[in-house]
Amino acid sequence: MIKSAAIVKTASLAPWREVRLQKRKLKKAQAEERKATKQVHPSTICKLTPIETPEIIDTSVKESVEDTPATREEMLQQAELMGLKVDKRWSDATLLKHIEESAWATQNDSL
């Protein structure tokens, strides 16, 4: 509202602004109503109990020894027996790969 000594004017909004303002007020009221009436359903995942699984004890030591990867010394001995020239900068994985490749090649050559 604009006041002056001679003229008093009331500022009015354009019709499109009034509609926009009403929509914004309505959306805000609806959001507040949804928040007030929101129902929370707790997840059942928190209530689940873990299933107890029986531990499998491996009685055979032989299987556990076979499953362990070869040590670097064992791989170096294997490579020496095969006649492989080993670079000391090779990692264990690279050394194992070269041993397996040469073993595969010797098996296929003998066939």
The CA-atom distances, in angstroms, between 17 and each of 14, 24, 28, 43 are: 5, 10, 16, 44
pTM over 0.75: no
∠ CA 21-23-24, rounded to 5°? 65
- 5-54 pLDDT tens trace: 677 777 788 999 999 999 999 999 999 999 999 888 777 666 666 666 66
Looking at this protein, which amino acid is placed at residue 13?
Answer: L
Backbone angles phi and psi of 2, in degrees to 5: -105, 130
Nearby residues of 90 by Cβ (< 8 Å), 6 or more positions away: 98
∠ CA 43-46-49, rounded to 5°? 135
Write down the domain spans for the chain: 72-111
